Structure 1
């Protein structure tokens, strides 16, 4: 097998001879991206392993958290996007392409959550470098349409993990996918999946108990972008995002002004910032309410599109959901 220097030498000779076709250029560029040393990051983050275990790549921690609970030690899991990374805006690096190409299974959300790397993920089905079959699955697209929130423009809200009962269904789909790709461990996956299901039933009850304490007139959750629709539907909150479903959208002055008037007239005490979204629009609401004589404060930081760092106490999907419920409950009561 040729290494990166060999490939560059081939490229240079072809260029000198004027015989390199467009197709050949594309092939060589792809090989260089995959094989050139270092383009995939350090060895510790490479999807390739000598352990012989299943290699699974998840785009976010919302997927890799439940998956790790089910798979146990029977696979090695890579989470592509770390704490505080916005999946709406994330662009795949050459190292990401290498990790995807090395994985046996690629799990992503779908419904355009990973907007800027959608093309890469949709084409991820194929063969790994050592000849294994690679499968890529948009996990949330396996959920029934009648469980989804669809906007007036026909866009599916991709933030399903905000409803614990709905993400429990996603965990069930993860179990099915694992059983299909590794049938020899299907009984183990089934047992672990059943344990996780019971744990998530209890988590759902905890979140509901925290939020039911908010008085009816204060059950308004205003956040930086519209990521909490499923959270509000499940737990009985009116949810208003300053921006739209994707953080690529921008809030207009008219939108900010209308929210200022609503917050003031209804005397809502707090709004919330998100770990993956700049605070400027939230600060604009606070300043606008102050100009109308209403004191509005930041109720806390919510984790919407990614778990937090280890010290946050919200570094896994389960803990980030519980953290969000606690922060919202304390700020709006």
Structure 2
């Protein structure tokens, strides 16, 4: 189990020393993964823990509260992803007024040296930190020479002749380029979370949904053909709406997945919704009847894209894991 911490200041966390990597890690794309894996490999060679440092909220969210930029990954998914990559410690540092005003030199001394006992620090291309983005590789190397740690920058990961970045992935998702996004992420784009109770309007319309909250600005919105992971041995075909539900006056972004031919209680279950294809943008309909008609067309489109036929009663019962009637 990786050790999670939130504060720059405090007691020593890794007295034996550590190898540290720092980044926003939004999406944990191939570039992020290369950085973390490099730090983990160096830590194993040195016989010390590997520590991944990030921020929550992200700095650009803190400085743009009125119009926060889109997020690919929520904090929990980021933590789990960093842990799966081998990080022994994960710092999701509280980015607030105090941290934003901290000089890069103080960040190095208080956190990297005093708290983490860093022996090496690794960053990605063009990474900056500290007040007014005053910290960079040159500063780390200069202070490392004085304080006893090494610092380095990994080579950028390229796809399609350009550096892999969260910005490129957001642009691909916005345009429905899920294959392109998957190539940069190293996996299909998916959003995970615990299923919560909604207004149950979908159930009354004949389209019950598994709902996931997304308390950040999402990188995409609309209606999608999707696969749901975590409800059966294999991914479950579905059609999903992701957005603010303008027809029913929604506000907070909500991901609503309607699982085809599924009969079961998913409340409280942790699932992942994998995006396959965009069907259309989110629209406001004049009434629920119009909305229902469009939902039926969306479901038919998603079934066709996912190659899912409407099963008969016996096949449906078998898919859901329930015995058919004798």
Q: Which has the higher strand share?
A: 2
What TM-score comes out, normalization by structure 1 length? 0.27
